[in-house]
Amino acid sequence: MNRTAEKVLAIISAVLTVIGIILSFVSLAFFNYLKSDPMIRTEIEAELLMDATLTPADVDMFYSISNFIGGFIWLIIIGLLISLILIIIGLVNIWSNKNPKLAGTLFIIAGLTGGILNLTSILLYIAGILCITKKPPTPRETQFVDEQYDGTMRPL
């Protein structure tokens, strides 16, 4: 059975997932650079303390939130890596039409781990549903042939 649509959707999703992983690592590196540079840190503290309504406790809360954001970016990276691994395993299963139901299930799980509603996950949902619901064509019914009439159909 031809599974070109599923393969194309899964490959596009894998490429978009790799791009997302790269961008997440870049944003994490930039975020960590901003957090660790003492000059930028003192400027942020000075700007925050200029506001009369903010206290030093609020500034500390700001830094704890920034630590949480760094951890959240790591969570996104781990989810994208799991999604990429599942996409690759699904592609291997569907490439030679070995187990399309397993590949469809893996694509749907990869869509959930890569993000609930984004372009990559929607493409994976479509590929997964196609893998699960697409059935091989049924062979045509064979016609009964009577040997008495030289391989042609017998008259009624």
CB 89 within 8 A of CB 96: no
**Structure token pair of residue 37:** 């540079």
Number of domains making up the chain: 1
44-92: pLDDT as tens digits? 888 887 887 888 788 788 888 988 998 899 999 999 999 999 999 999 9
- pLDDT tens sequence across 119-152: 999 999 999 999 999 887 777 665 555 566 565 6
Identify whether 97 is part of a domain: yes
User: HSE of 136 in the Cβ direction (CA atoms, 13 Å)?
Assistant: 9
pLDDT value for 41:
83
Does residue 146 lie within any of the structural domains?
no
pLDDT recorded at residue 152: 65
Range of the domain at 119: 4-133
* 73 within a domain of the structure (yes/no): yes
Tell whether 147 is covered by a domain: no
Is the C-alpha dihedral spanning 90, 92, 96, 98 positive or negative? negative
Element (H, E) at 75: helix 56-95
